[in-house]
Amino acid sequence: MISHAPDGYECPFCFLLAGGETEIDSQSDVVLRTELATAFVASGWWANNRGHVIVIPNEHHENIYDLPAEYGHAVHDVVREIAVAMREAYGCEGISTRQHNEPAGGQDAWHFHVHVIPRYHGDDLYGSKPLPGFATGEQRRPYADKLLAVLRDQADRRQPRADQQVAAGEQRAVADLPQRDRVAHHVDQSGETGGDQERVQPVQ
């Protein structure tokens, strides 16, 4: 394994994942967390691209060489979801993603991560340097709130489609049953047998 982390390295991203908070990273910065990946509003900004998001695997892996496939897939899925939400929430005109490995590749935090950056025409991202210091929690919070609102709205819009897909799947399954089993299924679903009915609960 290729590693550049110093001896005794205390990973700030692992600290955040464990519930820790600092002035640079806070739990209120987290906008999306899945089983294997987490996204949060970053504290390092560029002047014309404020509010960018970092996506990390929920297990410590220093770089892309060390990253298991399942975590790579999970990070990619979250990157895409954040990009879609950011485009709507910020009203930006494009999205860039960045991922760095080793010092020669621009890496300076020793936990694999992907930057999701809002882009605007003429923003000069690649010709500019990051702003000095770090954005405060108060400065980061409005961006987190915007993203959370859109992500929740997207989840709400997906849920009816998921319910429809479940219902359609049940209908197809019933259509494939022999005639006598279809009748039995209909009786059971109507409640005439008095049996408990299994219900699909929406994701909270």
Q: Which two tokens stand for residue 155?
A: 């989840």
- How many Cα neighbours within 13 Å face the side chain of 109? 17
- How far is Cα 154 from Cα 17, in angstroms, rounded to an integer? 24
Output the DSSP codes for 56-102: EESS---STTT--HHHHHHHHHHHHHHHHHHHHHH--SEEEEE---S
In the residue annotation, 61 being an active-site residue is answered as: no
List C-alpha distances in Å: 124 to 46, 53, 93, 127. Answer: 10, 18, 13, 5
CA distance 70 to 150: 26
User: Which of the residues 52, 61, 111, 113 is marked catalytic?
Assistant: 113
Q: Encode burial over 21-46: b for 16+ CB neighbours within 10 A, e otherwise.
A: eeebbbeebbbbeeebbbbbbbbbbb
Show the tokens assigned to 9.
């390295």
**Which residues are known catalytic residues?**
113
